[in-house]
Structure 1
């Protein structure tokens, strides 16, 4: 039986000679990239979110009174005739809760991944306004 020929390579597990090892990826050079100051974005986004939450709480309380007033109507309204006011109030409360939770999760993720948070704040606030307009439009019918 014959032995394999001798190799010029170092033995397995030994440290390669200096200059013979090429790194798979180049080492980063220069200063670390600068992260933009996002103080204004985050401050205004969180302020708008707090306004959304406070507005949602206020509209939740107002919707209770709107439901009571609408349930005492003497006919005429379609929502009053078939008990649709209770469904509208329930749907509105669910919509407000989903919007607050979704906006909160979106803003936390955006803040932690260093992305702009203002689209979540503006979107949540805007959809809350739209849900409120739709709710009162349903009660007005």
Structure 2
């Protein structure tokens, strides 16, 4: 192995894989719920109302009304963009959670395979030792 791979190997050995694997379904379920909640949200939350409304509302002038409409349109655009980003982020989180679950399943499969290979190598080592002993005797 290269010197650069050793820290990764040490890091991977330090990960409590049984705990990670045990929590993977919860992570995937949480990501699914988040994605469904984000996909299901239709609109925004109502803005906070002023603490004390004015006693007599003053109608805005034409310039103020135009400015307010412009600001409102801009806020609606920004809200739509933020909702799209939130949906995209939720989809990414869902994809990452699914990928993590598949990765953990593969790691567990590889771990079991390495265990079988270890036993096979140990058996071959015993057979080789017996063979060498017979050759030397």
TM-score (norm 2): 0.40
TM-score (norm 1): 0.39
